[in-house]
Amino acid sequence: MRDPALEHACEIVTAARGGGGPLVQTFFDEATSSATYLVRDPGSRACAVIDSVLGFDPSSGRTCNGPTEALCAAIRAEGLEVAWILETHVHADHLSAAARLKEAFGGRTAIGAAVTKVADLFAGLIDPTRAEAAFDRLLRDGDRLSIGGLDGVVLAVPGHTPADVAFVIGDAVFVGDTLFMPDFGTARADFPGADAALLYASIQRLLSLPPETRLFTCHDYKAPGRDAYAWETTVAAERVGNVHVREGVTEAEFVALRRARDATLPVPKLIWPALQVNLRGGRLPEPEPDGGRYLKIPVNAI
């Protein structure tokens, strides 16, 4: 069966060989083990920001711009024009700074269209703004993006959540939580709406891209025996060396491994604040009648 979106992604990657890809700068937040990417068109001042992080202290309830300070400084220093502020999925482990970045630099916010499914899964527990109002654009499989002279395409890669997407921009792919570095493996698939078999299929789709394709992950947790953080790999390296899903691992083997591993993982510490902010496109909840803004924690909900 043909996969037009994947075919277009392969064409974009192939066309970018020999220096036609984006310039990628990474800003890593150790507090949440999250990588934010500044993706630049080498031929213009156009750029995009992918998976930004807003600082948040759950003990005091205070937010801060700390994780974005270096990112914002780079945008200003280079006189860059932000075309897109993109999210690979609704993060459960950190708050998005998308709204603050949009206020500071403009640009359009966007996330996978299946974000509406995520909102529905948590309806009654939290009260998010409708996704159609929270983001400037909801992206579907095969949708095209441009960043100056760079061509991009959206690949739906559900499994970790129903709404995960990967962004293929030139020879670089921003995979979110679908894949991690080869020595760490893959993301969990036990959140509401997640599916390990779907995750396996999504990974196989990504690994069908040309072997030299650069892959950028959303997180790194330093696998045992590795002392430095890392977030860039390749399709070839993942095919050969991913400890969970390298070539030869069947769907049944992966699903069994993923389910066993997920059963040992704790609920992310920031899941409830993160969902309430990230489903709003990085905006804090609206003020209550007393003027205060509140992030609510459902009791015995999980």
Domain assignment present for 55: yes
Domain assignment present for 285: no
Length of the chain: 302
At residue 124, the pLDDT reads 79
Number of domains in the chain: 1
Domain assignment present for 297: no
Measuring CA to CA, which residue among 107, 251, 89 is closest to residue 175? 89
Domain assignment present for 195: yes
At residue 129, the pLDDT reads 63
At residue 133, the pLDDT reads 82
In three-state secondary structure terms, 108 is: strand
Domain assignment present for 17: yes
Rg over CA atoms, the chain: 18
According to DSSP, the residues that pair with 166 across neighbouring strands are: 155
Domain assignment present for 289: no
Cβ-count burial of 50 within 10 angstroms (0-12 exposed, 13-18 middle, 19+ buried)?
buried
Its domain, for residue 250, covers 4-275
Amino acid at 169: I
Q: What does pLDDT average to over the chain? A: 95
At residue 132, the pLDDT reads 74
Domain assignment present for 299: no
What is the spatial order of strands in the sheet that 172-176 belongs to? 144-147, 150-156, 165-169, 172-176, 214-217, 232-234
Distance spanning both ends of the chain, measured CA to CA: 39
* CATH number, domain with residue 249: 3.60.15.10
Domain assignment present for 286: no
Backbone angles phi, psi at 247, to 5 degrees: -55, 135
Q: Which residues of the chain have pLDDT under 50?
A: none
DSSP 169-192: ETTEEEEETSB--TTT-B----ST
At residue 17, the pLDDT reads 82
At residue 172, the pLDDT reads 98
